[in-house]
Structure 1
């Protein structure tokens, strides 16, 4: 799997071209977990990545629920059936890539994975453990069922069914189902581009030629058939690929200058937003290397201003020269109008002189003969 191409594509489509090292590392851990658990269906991979993208507020890192369950039933020392508990002295609010909640879920997942998750719920924040919890809970893993809600990816993505909207029932009913389905489509497209690269390399296209090529955006099975047909046009399109490579290199330079830390703080004293399912944002802090990015932007804006000034100066000089030429032409025209016709046309003046001399000679000869 060409992960570099995957990160490039998904960075453009879902992260506004600014994929941070932390986000990249988070996806790397999950991709390794998919390989470790034998997850080969790209639809399953894409939907789990989309779920993590939504539940972790785009960080792609396991996080604690904002507010730590305050105002929620699981934010108290009670089980799903309402029975209170005193041990362990822990609260089982949302943690990890899927925001695992409730006493029973921590207990069940800990037993399935062989870790003391009930007594140490903080383990769900470990990236590797969190990724394994997501895979186990969303597939028919060791328990042969979907451990979160009873349904799993096998129920919504198989040979007969492809339903990324209803797949939200695996984690949390239909909450934000359409939105997560949109994230899924973009993750799936990024994963499928890797298949495009393999096919292009099989027909002789060099790796650097397809770095930034975005060929397949649809997700149905006909995309591959259409891709096979499009390979016949490879030579005609090769000339455009170098331009994409150059653009990709420029973008990589900019990506290398983005922040390495993105922290969002939420105001838990205010009501939860019904759309996002989270409290309003109190502050958003972007640190590390931000000054370098701003400097790059500032330098670019300064350079653009200087270039604009040079262009305006050249335009003014051209206008001045045009006006000077027009003025001289006008003065020449006026001078010619004031000059007698004969003086303005030297050839006519010489012709007149020759005629006069000829007439004079003829006149003299006429009178001379008459006198003789």
Structure 2
């Protein structure tokens, strides 16, 4: 695998390598800062040493990731009727005993996003769903900070409750970059990294928000220690649900999310049966 091919693989998995190269997306074969940063994030998500270097182990992981992307993941296939029946039962009290059409659509959007940017593991899918249940409530769709309906209402809410939290208005949007999405994207630097600083409301698009959530959970981009979800919820080991919350926001509400996680794991198991 050449460096340009590795860059194309990273681009295909949602990493921003800037511009240049045949595709105009950064596949120029020069392994600079953007390539190293993206490579390190990918390595963390795969449980490798985050060196940013294109070594043999990383090449193998990139090739495997591209193979996974090229083929439908058998692990993602659920009997959704059984899955949703479980979520409507007393075994999953987080939704009561019913789900609206909009709730089902929101959850299905997350399931579909997992097929694109997830890793195929039940633990990751369940944790992403549990994180969504906590971050956006039972509606399971992206929201603005304070659950406000409009940008103007959200900015007024932030100014009233967090007058200095996000700093001064900045960037091409010209306002503070408050939380939007499923995992709330905040601060100008994070919007810039995702390429939506000029269009921050893109974080509210269900497909974008759900795919971004799984990317961030897996590569540790929001974790101060740079560790992805597989570090805390290993495939062959015990779950560290308290510290898994660090993939989003320190350990706040971790016990509540752990409860949601167990319910979603049950629903996934039902959908596999």
TM-score bracket for this pair, using the shorter chain length: 0.5 to 0.7
Give 1:39's aligned residue.
119
Distance in 1 (CA, whole Å) between partners of 2:131 and 2:201 is: 20
- Name segments (4+ residues, structure 1) moved above 2 Å: 67-78, 85-88
Distance in 1 (CA, whole Å) between partners of 2:207 and 2:102 is: 14
Pairing partner for 1:153 from 229, 252, 260: 229
Distance in 2 (CA, whole Å) between partners of 1:175 and 1:152 is: 17
Match status 1:107 vs 2:192? yes
TM-score by length of 2: 0.62
Q: CA deviation at 1:136?
A: 1.2
SS at match of 2:175: coil
Distance in 1 (CA, whole Å) between partners of 2:241 and 2:171 is: 39
Mapping of residues 1-372 of structure 1, within 5 Å: 1-12=78-89, 13=92, 14-66=94-146, 67-68=154-155, 69-70=158-159, 71-72=161-162, 73-77=164-168, 85=170, 87-110=172-195, 117-140=196-219, 146-149=220-223, 150-158=226-234, 159-195=236-272, 197=273
SS at match of 2:248: helix
Distance in 2 (CA, whole Å) between partners of 1:86 and 1:127 is: 24
Distance in 2 (CA, whole Å) between partners of 1:107 and 1:166 is: 27
SS at match of 1:173: coil
Larger Rg: 1
CA RMSD of aligned residues (A): 1.7
Give 1:203's aligned residue.
none
Tell me, yes or no, if the aligned pair for 2:116 and 2:211 is still in contact at 8 Å. no
Distance in 2 (CA, whole Å) between partners of 1:97 and 1:87 is: 23
Distance in 1 (CA, whole Å) between partners of 2:101 and 2:138 is: 13
- If asked which structure has higher relative contact order (CA below 8 Å, sep 6+), I would say 2
**Deviation sequence 1:78-121 (CA, Å, 0-9, x none):** 6xxxxxx35431321111111111111111122xxxxxx11110
Distance in 2 (CA, whole Å) between partners of 1:102 and 1:74 is: 9
SS at match of 2:215: helix
TM-score by length of 1: 0.46
Distance in 1 (CA, whole Å) between partners of 2:215 and 2:129 is: 14
Structure 2 spans left out of the alignment, 5+ residues: 1-77, 147-153
Indicate how the Cα distance of structure 1 residues 194 and 121 shifts in structure 2: closer, same or farther if over 3 A, else same.
same
Tell me, yes or no, if the aligned pair for 1:74 and 1:92 is still in contact at 8 Å. no
**Deviation sequence 1:216-244 (CA, Å, 0-9, x none):** xxxxxxxxxxxxxxxxxxxxxxxxxxxxx
Indicate how the Cα distance of structure 1 residues 34 and 52 shifts in structure 2: closer, same or farther if over 3 A, else same.
same
Distance in 2 (CA, whole Å) between partners of 1:6 and 1:51 is: 18
Distance in 2 (CA, whole Å) between partners of 1:86 and 1:54 is: 29
